[in-house]
Chains A and B, each alone.
Chain A
Amino acid sequence: MTELWYAHQPAISAYLYAAVPNFHDAEDLTQQVAVAVARDFDKYDPDTPFLRWAIVIARNRVLNHRRSFAMSKIVFSQDTLDALADAAPDQQPITTAYKAALDNCLDQIQNKSRQALKLRYEEDLRTKEIATRLSMTANAVSVLLHRTRAALAECMKKKIDSET
């Protein structure tokens, strides 16, 4: 079970983060789903894809916690959650090549782009707070984060393609 969980945890986590945009809520839910999967693993049918089974558990956890989303500015509709749950099992696994490409491409980011990434992801700041720290406008920070993510994705794709 441990191997199955570790192989599919990134996909489950991505679904939860998509459904619950607050990072800490998503982390909490991931832990809860892990406990639920471990507790109910004797009910898992090996003929069913593990990820599909685990996503059902994750979806139910999301529904149970909707009342705690008061912190979020957005709550996805039931139809959207269903669409995401339906697509979640199709996610590609996070491979060693993916992680290595991310690590390598992140290393290449410097200067203000790196500062913005660290403030957003390490300190979980919002764009206005980042703008204050970096003496930029909030709109410029949004643009910078967008361009940095796009450049990272492009860099990673090229690195992964060159390895395959």
Chain B
Amino acid sequence: MTRPTDEIDAYLDGEPTPEQARALQDWIQADKANARAFLAAVRLHQQIGSQLRKDRFDQALRSTDQPATTKDGDAAIQALAELTRLNEEGLQSPVNFTTWREEKANKAAAEHRKVLLTRTLVGGAIAAVMLLGVVLAIVLLGGPDNDQPIVETPVWPDETTPTTLPVVATLTDAVGAQWRSDDKPVQLPMGVQLVAHERLTLTHGFAEITTLRGAKALLQAPCTFELTDHDNAIRLHSGKMVGKCETPSSKGFVVHAPGMDVVDLGTEFGVAADAQSGSTVLVMDGSVRAQPTEQSPRAFEPVVLETSQARRVKAETGSLEMIAVTEAPVFQADLPHPYVASVLEAKPVAYWRFENDTGQIIKSEIQPDRDQLTVIGNAQLTEDGVVGKAALLTNQAEPYAYFETRESIAALGALDEYTIELWYFTNERYEVDKDNSVGTLLSLYDPEQGNQFSDASDAKLLSLELGNDFWVDKPAKWWGVHRPPNWREHAIRCFPLRDLQSAEKQEIYSTKQYLIGRWQHLVFVKSTDGVTLYLDGEPVDQAGYTPRMLGPAAVRLGRSALDVVQETDPDAAKTPLGHGHQRALRGRLDEVALYAKALDPEQIKKHHALATGEALKDLID
């Protein structure tokens, strides 16, 4: 039973419906862990209140003109007691409390207006004098060279928005949302009411709109839509959305898409629209009716679709055809974490989040029927990821566990630019005299090459590893590596050895040690200038060389491609690699993304900030 966050919040805010109360109690009683989790949520709720009230009390004491004395302290306590009494009275007789608060607020507003009026009068006088000065300056010295007006993003709705049209929906949530209306950027404040026939484009992020009847439309950018004059409908001109109809009043929600109307029969469903190619509907839960539009009422016979069924209308024919679920677009069914939204916006070619509950396959968020990771060994999922779940590799002994795609990532061809992004967590200090000398985070390798190389430096692979300090003292001959002068122990190493262009032996290392016991963000960027390694949002090393790993690449996580290459072909000549089985990660991996482009430093920094909560304001405002 998943954590009932809505029910817990409703309880904490004193407003659960009977259904929510029942669901909450069922959840608490189902497992002692749930009861503990509920108590922890209540405790946080209490502590927030205690801290804020304490801050206000302290502020009240500090704001008095007289030094704090026992008498003042008593007075403050008496004031709080009076406030508490009035609050209690307010709970019993809301009218009195509201009247009391309104009187206070009106008085404060009147005082504020007096101040504003005074400032306006004084400011106006000063402005008039300044304006006279500016006019004189222009007359005497000539006008400004720069005639460009200062453009600020207007807050929608503006004075051009018709006010006589009916309100049909509300913007109820958003993550990273940016908007355009009539092809100009606009800001939509949370909770803004939306009127019929207004056409809006969501250019970035995700947004949730709720109709007057309670149906929710979760929109994913880029998306253009329009509200109709119906209180439970939306017109999707282009883009993707998920419809959720969870209350009885919201049933019958209609999505008008090019070539097709989708009518909810009590469900969760996704619709993707494109004016050129047509529309697709996928039912995630419940059922919908797909029917022709009013413009083409005889294009096809209406059909009821059940869970996991999908249909597509082609724009050129207008006919409805059945499609496999795997052919349908990927729909985001819930507002994602801002970090996830930001990664998706950067358009990775593969993105593994390790949120799957079962099975031996980890799907990519980008195209779930492609670029799947196969789970080898007893790798597990753990709840304490960076966002949601993470992969857990314990690897205390053979056989070692890891993940791999087996086949090449289709979108990673011969690229001049690409980026690898991942999060890792380890408690291990990798040492050569232990049975695990290197913790491989990720390897890209050419599955066609197999083990047809005589030296590791000829291997077509790129590996990000957590290293050790052994090599400082004893460079292993088969590595043939020369340490750069800024080599640090316990660093992150990017391993290939030989530059493709110059054939020189090069590597890059982080100039910071990797840390144990905490999640760290690692990004490897290959651009036309060379390669850069970023750790926790900051660049830590750079080199102007081209890795040998170019062309189609398969992915292995948690284990070096070199190790397994030996194992899969025992009859082939062994490569003189040494430490063959000792490059397995002991730790966690999460949010692994590959991009067919170079991410810029600001984007990398933003990703790190969004995941670590350093951008708390961005997260919640």
Contacts and interface: CB of A to CB of B under 8 A. Distances in A.
Interface stretch (A14-22, A35-43, A57-65): A14-22
A86 B29 CA distance: 10
B612 interface: yes
B315 to A, nearest CB: 36
Q: Which of B29, B87, B621 has the most CB of A within 10 A?
A: B621
B215 to A, nearest CB: 13
Contacts of A145: 9, 13
Given A76-B25, A149-B48, A154 B613 contact: yes
Interface in A5-36: 10-11, 13-15, 17-18, 21-24, 26
B424 to A, nearest CB: 15
B25 A80 contact: yes
Contacts of A14: 39-40, 42-43, 46
A139 B13 CA distance: 12
Contact of B191 (A17, A21, A137, A153): A137
Contact of A142 (B9, B32, B613): B9
A162 B515 CA distance: 11
A56 interface: no
Interface in A79-106: 79-80, 83-84, 86-88, 90-92, 94, 98-99, 102-103, 105-106
A24 B14 CA distance: 13
Given A94-B47, A139-B170, A86 B13 contact: no
A111 B25 contact: no
Residues of A in contact with B, size category: 35 or more
A161 to B, nearest CB: 7
Contact of A162 (B14, B36, B51, B518): B518
Nearest to B40: A91
A84 B35 contact: yes
A151 B616 contact: yes
Contacts of B21: 73-74
**At the interface, is chain B mostly helix, strand, loop or mixed?**
helix
Nearest to A147: B620
A158 to B, nearest CB: 5
B321 interface: no
Interface string B317-347: 0000000000000000000000000000000
A118 B52 CA distance: 7
Contact of A124 (B42, B48, B87, B619): B87
A66 interface: no
Contacts of A105: 616
B619 A83 contact: no
Nearest to B32: A87
Contacts of B616: 105, 108-109, 151, 155
A120 B35 contact: no
B308 interface: no
B617 A110 contact: yes
Interface string B82-95: 00100110011000
A77 B87 CA distance: 28
B28 A83 contact: yes
B471 interface: no
Contacts of A10: 43, 46-47
Q: Which of A87, A110, A131, A162 has the most CB of B within 10 A?
A: A87
Contact of B190 (A90, A121, A136): A136
Interface in B1-37: 5-6, 9-16, 21, 25, 28-29, 32, 35-36
B5 A102 contact: no
Contacts of A117: 48, 52
B173 interface: yes
Contacts of A102: 44, 47-48, 51
Contact of B172 (A90, A140, A148, A149): A140
A119 B46 CA distance: 14
B53 interface: yes
Contact of B56 (A79, A122, A155, A162): A122
Contact of B9 (A11, A26, A149, A158): A149
A149 B56 CA distance: 19
10 contacts: A18-B38, A21-B14, A24-B84, A74-B11, A83-B32, A84-B28, A90-B36, A98-B47, A143-B172, A151-B616
Of all A-B residue pairs in the complex, the 7 with the closest CB atoms, nearest first, are A87-B35, A140-B191, A14-B43, A136-B191, A121-B49, A18-B42, A80-B25
Interface of A: 10-11, 13-15, 17-18, 21-24, 26, 71-74, 76-77, 79-80, 83-84, 86-88, 90-92, 94, 98-99, 102-103, 105-106, 108-113, 117-118, 120-124, 126-127, 131, 135-137, 139-140, 142-156, 158, 161-162, 164
Given A142-B13, A144-B620, 8 more contacts: A11-B39, A21-B11, A24-B91, A90-B32, A131-B191, A137-B191, A153-B44, A158-B613
